[in-house]
Copies of this chain bind each other. A is one copy, B any other.
Amino acid sequence: MQVFRNKLSQYVRLADDAWLPIKELDQRTETFEAGEDLIVAGQDANEIFILQTGWALRYRLLEDGRRQIVNFMLPGDVFDLQSLADLQADHTVTAITDCDVTVIPARPFVRMLRDSTRIAAAFWWAAVQEESILREQIVRIGRRSARERIGHMLLELHRRYAGATGEETDELVMPVTRADIADALGLTPVHVSRTMSAMRRSGLIAEERGSIKLLDRARLARLSHFDTDYLHLKKLNLLTHGLSSNHTAPATALDAD
């Protein structure tokens, strides 16, 4: 649960004992190997997942074999909250690397949410952020050039990764192929390769064996119009500056009265 708390602590402060209810849940930890499916399109889903280590991705396959990656899942990410509605998944989630995942059955989870306002709020933040990521993905694919798309996505992944792990380097260990990037950004592998080569030549990034170094984040951000605050990180400042030091979440509509 630590990664998830790391991620949340960017937004809300949570006392240690606020987490007790979730620890009492009937959860288990599963390990998936790289390439394994966590969720399969068309199957019923009634568990929620919290990614502890590793990377995963969510995609849809078109009839003719085209693939669109909807988003990437990093440590600390929660999915599929939608399974609480007891629906069939309309997409597949696959492990990119080996993954440790906490699996919680939907029913007890929901019961706990009802009992613990604090935790419900925390998960609501996570869900809101996920939707925000989807919207950003739409803007990225719909209205940006290849170079902007790639730069923008690298910055987003870097930020999310740093947020979850607590690290702060320019290095991004990213276990994805050109084909993955292409399928995420609506491009072809060939064009991704060309574009990233150009970015390398102009000193924006450097690569070695699955690791990308963001050499000039400021320039990259300017160039791809990346808004550092888009993941609601503004809230972070609000919180750290605006609250007394007791370890409670700020008042939101989700708090009990």
Residue positions of A touching B, CB distance < 8 A: 46, 60, 62-64, 66-68, 70, 82-88, 90-91, 106-107, 109-111, 114, 121, 124-125, 128, 130-132, 134-135, 137-139, 141-144, 183-186, 225, 230, 232, 234-235, 250-254, 256-257
Contact = CB atoms under 8 A, between A and B. Distances in A.
24 contacts: A60-B135, A62-B139, A62-B144, A62-B225, A64-B225, A68-B143, A70-B135, A70-B138, A82-B128, A85-B121, A85-B125, A85-B254, A86-B251, A87-B235, A90-B135, A90-B230, A107-B253, A110-B253, A110-B254, A131-B134, A134-B135, A138-B138, A142-B184, A143-B186
A141 B186 contact: yes
Given A63-B225, A225-B62, A253 B138 contact: no
A74 to B, nearest CB: 18
B253 A46 contact: yes
Contacts of A109: 253
Nearest to A185: B142
B67 A143 contact: yes
A111 B257 CA distance: 8
A83 to B, nearest CB: 8
A148 to B, nearest CB: 9
